[in-house]
Every structure is written in structure tokens, then in C-alpha cells.
Amino acid sequence: MLYQERKLLLLHKILADENLDFRIVKRLRQEGYEVISILEDYRSIMDREVLEISREFNALLMTEDNDFGEWIFSHKEKTTGVIFLRYASKDIYEIINTILNLLNKYDDSLFNKFTVVTVNKIRIRDIT
């Protein structure tokens, strides 16, 4: 089985929030990941609707918006999982490599987790 076919089998879909740098979306697609883009398909929707779409498509939400932590932990909004990115714009290519390493290493185990990713650190927390 080809490596890219394996990725498509293990990791379902990624929902890219509207604020996500589009270079990340492009690179994930180049690597064979199925990425649904809020910017392309659902522009200007509310955060709660973004979470609904992630559940509908059984997709991990990738975002740079820290409001999703509040939605999930304070408001107990249901989600399939969130990857929250924190980085400086000058570090875009480093964060892309970190994301690819994260997805390759953890794949489906990222579901039902809130994952915070920086260039130097990854923190994975259960969503209860």
C-alpha cells in the first residue's frame, strides 16, 4: 500500500478553519490529506457552525482561533477533535513540518482530543 493511500485510510478528514494560513491547506492536500476549507466552501460562518460541520464530516478541526478551546471546555460543545496552531508568521514552514509529523505519528488517535501545536511543542488533551 502506498504511503499516501495509508494516510487517507487512517486519517479521515481535516476541516481547515477560515483563519488557517492557506499554505497549510495546500501542503496538506499535496501530501494526500483530504481537507475541507471553510474559506473556500463556508466563508464567514460562526464558530458553532464550524463545529457542526466538523461533526457532520467527522473531520478534525484545524484552527488558529483560540475561541474553540472555550467552546469545547467551557460551553461543552461537542467536537470530533481540534488541532489548535500557535506560531509566528515567520515560522510558517516549520509549523507545516510539525503538523505533518503530528499527523503521521498520531493519525486517528487525534480524534476526540484538543491538540495544541507550536513549532517546538505538542500538547494533546482528552476532550471529556
- pLDDT of residue 2 exceeding 70, the answer is no
Give the span between the Cα atoms of 97 and 82, in whole angstroms: 18
Number of separate helices (H) and strands (E) present in the chain: 6, 6
The torsion of the CA quartet 109, 72, 65, 54, rounded to 10 degrees, works out to 60
- pLDDT of residue 5 exceeding 60, the answer is no
Instruction: Please report the beta strands in 17-121, taking only residues with DSSP state E, as ranges in sequence order.
Output: 34-37, 59-63, 82-85, 113-117
Average pLDDT, the chain: 91
Give the span between the Cα atoms of 123 and 127, in whole angstroms: 13
Looking at residue 10, what is its pLDDT?
A: 46
pLDDT tens-digit profile of 93-122? 999 999 999 999 998 899 999 999 999 999
pLDDT tens-digit profile of 32-55? 999 999 999 999 999 999 999 999
Containing structural domain, residue 85: 3-126
**26-57 burial code (b ≥16 CB/10 A, e <16):** ebbeebebebbbbeeeeeeeebeebbebbeeb
Q: In the chain, how many domains are there?
A: 1
